[in-house]
């Protein structure tokens, strides 16, 4: 089957609009509502037709039964953001993991020199 990574932004947008409309839509509606360039609409329709997800008569587009079933299967991934940059941990924050139940003691030599350490005594 088709991998979601193979879909362009416009393919995803067209599928979302079609599944939410539950009927056919006019190609001009995509341009009018979302500002999608007509050439991108045409290419997205052609790609989705190659996978048998949509039918088009040149003006109107609608999902096929195969397209509806596929969108229902991948609905969560389809609506999830493509670039999940919030999952990427910056290299500065990555360290070796501590073993379970191993005590941790920071290296004082790595602390900021302006940091004051007070010694407390039991007096």
- Token couple for 45: 């329709």
Distances from the Cα of 47 to the Cα of 50, 53, 107, angstroms: 5, 9, 58
Q: What is the pLDDT of residues 89-117, one digit of tens each?
A: 777 777 777 788 888 777 878 777 776 66
Q: Convert 49-68 to b/e letters by CB count within 10 Å (16 or more is b).
A: eebebbebeeeebbbeeebb
Local confidence band at 26 (pLDDT 50, 70, 90 cut-offs) = confident
Q: What CATH number has the domain spanning 4-84?
A: 1.10.10.10
- In the chain, domain spans: 4-84
Give this prediction's pTM. Answer: 0.62
């Amino acid at each position: 089957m088709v991998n979601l990574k193979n879909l362009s932004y416009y393919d995803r947008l067209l599928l979302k609009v079609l599944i939410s409309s539950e009927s056919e839509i006019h190609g001009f509606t995509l341009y009018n509502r979302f500002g999608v360039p007509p050439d991108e609409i045409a290419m997205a329709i052609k790609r989705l037709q190659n996978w048998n997800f949509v039918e088009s008569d040149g003006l109107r587009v609608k999902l096929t039964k195969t397209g509806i079933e596929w969108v229902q299967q991948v609905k969560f991934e389809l609506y999830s953001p493509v670039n999940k940059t919030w999952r990427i941990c910056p290299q500065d924050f990555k360290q070796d993991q501590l073993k379970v139940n191993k005590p941790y003691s920071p290296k004082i030599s790595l602390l900021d020199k302006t940091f004051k350490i007070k010694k407390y005594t039991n007096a």
